[in-house]
Amino acid sequence: MAGWRYRVILFVMVPAILAAAVFLGYTTWLTATRYTQLGEQTIAENTLLLVREKVDTIERYVIRQDNAAFGLVNLDELLDPDGDPELLDERWLPVAGELTPSMEALVVLDATGEVVAAAARGGARAEREFVKVLTERLLPEMDLTRLRSGRLKHLHHTLDGGSDLLSYLRRSHRGRRYYIIAKHNTDTIVREELSDIFATEEGKRQYNIVDQDNRRVHGPSLANAGDYLVGLRFPTTLYNWRLQIAPKQAPRLEAQGRSRRRTETALLAVALVVILLGVAFLLYAANKERRLAELKGDFIANVSHELKTPLSVVRMFGELLLTNRVKTEEKRKQYLEIILRESERLSSLIENVLDFSALERGKQTYAFARGDVEPVVRRAIETFRYRVEHEGVEVDLEVLGEIPEVEMDEQAIVLALNNLLDNAVKYGGRTPITVTLEKVRDFVQVRVRDRGPGIPEAAQRRVFERFYRSDRDQEVRGSGIGLSLVMHIAQAHGGRAWATSPTDGKGAVVAFTLPALEPGAKPRRSERPAAA
């Protein structure tokens, strides 16, 4: 049954748990990512609205100046035979600072590209320089022949390392085409208009302007804004530039976003590790349960055999005595001794099983009393020596130094020592056994040594496990609970139990300790439940 459960856990539950863990982790990560993206998208959309508003403001600012300047150009006056080209200076320059603060020059050309009238805020020299650059270098880029009448267009270009903005418009007069062209100073647009839009120092740190190659034209660097940086190109006027705006807390939001992503990834990894550890523990527990079930099965088989053998012997010799088939009195006495010996073995086994069962249920209690452990050990040895004297096993007691008093349950100590002696007889090859009683630091130590083959190193730590029996032990009758009882008894008394092999390689030593009492020390409570 246990093996079936283990296979179910191994082949069904474990893959299901792993699949559920992966799905849960993926769903959690996906949900967190979507919430993060939704927050970033909301911020980006709000920032985009702000960018679009500022871009439209700049566009309107330029177009408003164009309309004001072009509205001052009267072709009837300029093209009248008696007209004066300087009328353009007289009409535009006086109001240029107020109506067109970023406009530097204004030129009127005919269809052949000849200058009809021109004016510049920088004087005659600036006017000549602009006309020369316009006619020699800029007109081919403007493609005036395809310009529709009344339509305002712009040329944003880079010339000699500087950026210029030209606004131009086609008009018809008496069946002929004329072109009005205005030059804007982009530095003035950026410096004055953007400074008004982002008037505060805090606002100035939130925007910049970059060109097509992403080189910064104006404003601070916004590289630390990360995914929260939003940019929009000017649609008609300064179309080679892009206005970028970062939210006020963009660097902090970006840092928090990176930290949150790292935290979410770390938490997800920790959760997966915990789940994997849980699965590993589940497998370990299932395997442990399977092994324990197997050991319990072996234990039941061993106990059944241990009970059956002495019962069979008692029954056989009892029948011989009952039917008077004993020839001599000596044989009768021998049969009675065998019955007594097997009965004692049977009684000892039953006591072990009952005590162990009480420990498993947590109902075992000990009656502690202060006393000398030496008489208890001697009495246990004498009783055991009587049981094994027919097997020719020698059991000696060595008392090294003065032994202090201990707090103990005498019956439990006798049971522990009987189990150690019984193991020494069974696994020691009926070699001499030495029981040593000695005070070591703050403990009284009880050691049982035989001269047999010893305990394998790999088994020395496991011999105290319940139901454990090594491969070599399978050849010897036993239940696998004797040393487990010794360990429980030692721990209940505040000591410990261990097994080892002597350095000379002969035999095995199994021992347990009891805390020594100082003279005049107060005893503990008289009864205490055993540790299960």
- 168-196 per-position pLDDT tens digit: 999 988 888 999 999 998 888 887 777 77
pLDDT at 107 over 90: yes
The CATH code of the domain that includes 136 is 3.30.450
Does residue 141 form part of some domain? Answer: yes
Instruction: Please state whether beta strands 207-210 and 216-218 pair in parallel, antiparallel, or not at all (unpaired).
Output: antiparallel
Name the more confident of 93 and 345: 93
Query: Does some domain include residue 292?
Result: no
What is the token pair recorded at 352? 């072990």
Is residue 235 assigned to a domain? no
Q: Considering the domain boundaries, does residue 259 fall inside one?
A: no
The Cα–Cα gap between 88 and 126 comes to 15
Compute CA 269 distance to the chain's CA centroid, rounded to the nearest angstrom.
Answer: 4
Whether 218 is in a domain gets the answer no
Domain final position from 140, 163, 189: 189
> Does the global pTM surpass 0.75?
no
What is the CATH classification number for the domain harbouring 485?
3.30.565.10
Confidence band, pLDDT 50/70/90 cuts, at residue 526: very low
Task: Tell how far CA 351 is from the center of its chain.
Answer: 51
> Contact, 88 vs 118, CB < 8 A?
yes
Evaluate whether residue 127 is within a structural domain. Answer: yes
Query: What pLDDT sits at residue 306?
Result: 58
Yes or no: say if 296 and 346 are a contact pair by the CB < 8 Å rule. Answer: no
Identify the domain containing residue 447 by its residue range.
Answer: 343-529
Give the chain's domain count. 2
Considering 154, 189, 224, which residue would you say is the last residue of a domain?
189
The answer on pLDDT for 265 being more than 80 is no
